[in-house]
Amino acid sequence: LDCSENQLTELDISANAELGSLRCSGNQLTELDISANTGLRGLWCSGNQLTELDISANTELERLGCSGNQLTELDVSACTKLSSFTCEKNQLKAVKLPENLTLVNFECHKNQLTELDMKNGKVTGEMKFDTQCSVVNYAGIIHNDLMNK
């Protein structure tokens, strides 16, 4: 379902439990309830006004894009299948990741993070985080793409 760029202020997808993909970026959403959408594999909700995002029931998520909101914390520890995760340009002070996660793409820069616990995970492709953020328990070689810009 793609309903991006429509100036939506509300979105009720609770009756679509088997929805595999949701693109609702660039709207004016202040909340998004996806707890009934347990089959979601892709969620793109960037550029809204979300202050919280509960994805604890969305264990099938492989791709998550929630950049450009007003999130202060985000728990993706239930999403062990994530391969692409972008959460930059929020107000995040904490991101809780699953253990041993291997991401292809991870962008968490332009937040308020001071520490990022990778829980023995790694990123095989692009990784971006602010230079004041220390990364701990990382299983790979740290290559911050922002340090080269």
How far, in Å, CA of 38 to CA of 41, rounded? 9
How far, in Å, CA of 141 to CA of 79, rounded? 23
Q: Is the pLDDT of residue 148 over 70?
A: no
How far, in Å, CA of 139 to CA of 145, rounded? 17
* DSSP classification of residue 97: P
Q: Express each pLDDT in 84-143 by its tens digit.
A: 999 999 999 989 898 888 899 999 999 998 888 888 788 888 888 887 788 777 776 666
How far, in Å, CA of 138 to CA of 20, rounded? 30
Q: Express each pLDDT in 46-91 by its tens digit.
A: 999 999 999 999 999 999 999 999 999 999 999 999 999 999 999 9
pLDDT at 137: 76
Place of tokens 């029931």: 57
